Chain A
Amino acid sequence: MICFDAVTKHYGATTALDAVTVQVRSGHVTGLLGPNGAGKSTAMRLLLGLDRPTRGRVTIDGIPYARLPRPLQTVGAHLDARSYHPRRSARAHLLALARYAGIPSRRVDEVIELVGLESVARRRAGSFSLGMGQRLGIAAALLGDPAVLVLDEPMNGLDTDGVRWIRLLLKEFASEGRTVLVSSHLMAEMHQTVDRVIVMGKGRLLADCSTDELVSSVSDVVVLRTPDVAAAPGLTRALDRAGMSVAETSPGELEITGGTPARIGDAAFDEGMRVHSLSVTPATLEEGYLRLVEDAFEFRRADAPSASGGPEGASR
């Protein structure tokens, strides 16, 4: 388990993290979400001991990274697509890390095969595409067969197969009881991959909850199609009275939020409207995330004294 305990980090006058307390549980794939400048990368750098917190402590199973007896075998991390010397071969890069960690060289060949770089392992890493660079970074993260996996934007530049491979890999890791923390801006992909989310904004924790909880904070959209265009205003009024919001996207097509197909169907029946289709567009992680971030920042603009705690609450 990764534990951030009242962690604050200042870079000069900039506050990158502001008293963040959160735990990343083992056995889950946890997504770290937030707009640019939210503090995600800072959080990861502090976790890996690359930067020192101004205040507070980050620990892995109770131990700060710098004091881990076997760091690479405990935490595998990939932060930047380019964290290797461009003129060194992929294998030489991994071999140096393995030697530092006392990992046998056969494991280097194993991870090279695992990430599918065996045909280019002896080529200069500087000639790699972004996707190949990502695979090399992920290979480095897997080198120590770690109990904790931390990946920053690992899907960037990967092809469809690669994205799917990462998704399965992360889920498999979590199912083995390991801790997985992954950040990404690809919300659709994250929705499929993560089962818990930590949302950050402007250095603060906005939410720490399950993916389902965040998604259910926004309602599904029900699209109703009818040939009775003239009856639409009547139904709109009825649904409005029932607390739903309705938008007529085109003549005969209504987008309704805040209701279920059953209630909407009943209301249309009461209005004597013929309904040709009622389809549900499930809410997405992206919508939940955007709602949360927008609410948090509007809340803050309203000059609230404490900004931690979005709809899902930061103290969870």
Chain B
Amino acid sequence: MMRALRAEWGKTFSLLSPLLCLVGTVVLVLVTAASLGNDFVHDIGTGDRPAQATMRAIDALGPAVQFGLLTLAAFAMVLITAEYSSGSIRSTFQAQPRRAVVLAGKTVVGVVVGFLSGCATAGLGLAAATLALAGHAAPLAETPVVTMLRVGAVFAAAVVLLVAIGAILRHSVGTLCVGVVLLVGMLALPSSVSVWTPAGGAARFIVASDADYPSLVGLLVVTAWAAATYAIASVQLARRDA
């Protein structure tokens, strides 16, 4: 397994596209969070909101992170679908015919990178939102470190989900479409349904909302979807012709 991790780590960073997706995610979240904070302040300036109104930076970060899940999905997808589109999956399976090890190697690398970039993204996003809100930032209920861990965990689970979808579909565009629907699009569903989707679970867990269920359940929802998809991917990968 250590060999698979070394190999997949090297592969991930010997291409530009995964790195671009990660940088894109950080920038997207940062800009969106700052822009939401700035909109709030702007509303106060125009008199649409009272002068003493405050906003929690986390409320700007939540939607921004959900937005960032789009580019994170692209990062996770590239880990596996690039192998199929280039044909290099055949070389990989020759070097490691135990396909479960290959899938696990890719997933673990993705999870580590996803978690770390989630933490970094959340920290920077919170800072950007707080700066944009200037004096109108309400105190946070949780320390920034906890929020960073929350976003890191969501990113990690989202990576597992996307790598698994990629292994099942073996197609970039298809994988991205399904990923976007699951991680973001399902927010459009009625709340009673969307709370049980990855998008709804992630949204509630990131902002620590206990309105529908304890926020930790939100993470469990995302993780359960990811685990189920991963199980299907493992079985498919083992049975199918490469």
Contacts and interface: CB of A to CB of B under 8 A. Distances in A.
Interface of A: 45, 48-52, 65-66, 68, 71-72, 75, 77, 79-80, 82-89, 92-93, 95-97, 99-102, 140
Interface in B3-46: 3-4, 6-8, 10-11, 14-17
25 contacts: A48-B97, A49-B97, A51-B242, A52-B239, A66-B98, A71-B94, A72-B94, A82-B86, A83-B86, A83-B90, A83-B91, A84-B87, A84-B91, A85-B82, A87-B17, A88-B11, A88-B88, A92-B10, A92-B11, A92-B14, A96-B14, A96-B95, A97-B7, A100-B96, A140-B91
A85 B94 CA distance: 15
Interface residues of B, number: 28
A190 B242 CA distance: 29
Contacts of A49: 93, 97
Contact of A88 (B3, B14, B98, B239): B14
Given A45-B242, A93-B91, 18 more contacts: A48-B94, A50-B93, A71-B96, A71-B97, A83-B87, A84-B88, A85-B15, A87-B16, A88-B14, A89-B14, A92-B11, A96-B8, A96-B14, A97-B91, A97-B92, A97-B94, A99-B3, A100-B4
Nearest to A82: B87
B94 A77 contact: yes
B95 to A, nearest CB: 4
Which applies to chain B's interface (DSSP): helix, strand, loop or mixed?
helix
Interface string B182-223: 000000000000000000000000000000000000000000
A100 B88 contact: no
Contacts of A101: 3, 95-96
Residue in B91, B93, B241 whose Cβ sees the most chain A Cβ within 10 Å: B91
A89 B16 CA distance: 11
A93 B14 CA distance: 9
A200 B95 CA distance: 28
B88 A83 contact: yes
B94 to A, nearest CB: 6
A80 B87 contact: yes
A276 to B, nearest CB: 57
Contacts of A65: 97
Contact of B92 (A77, A92, A95, A100): A100
A83 B3 CA distance: 20
A19 B3 CA distance: 37
Contact of B7 (A82, A86, A87, A99): A99
A95 B97 contact: no
B10 A95 contact: yes
Interface string B229-242: 00000000001011
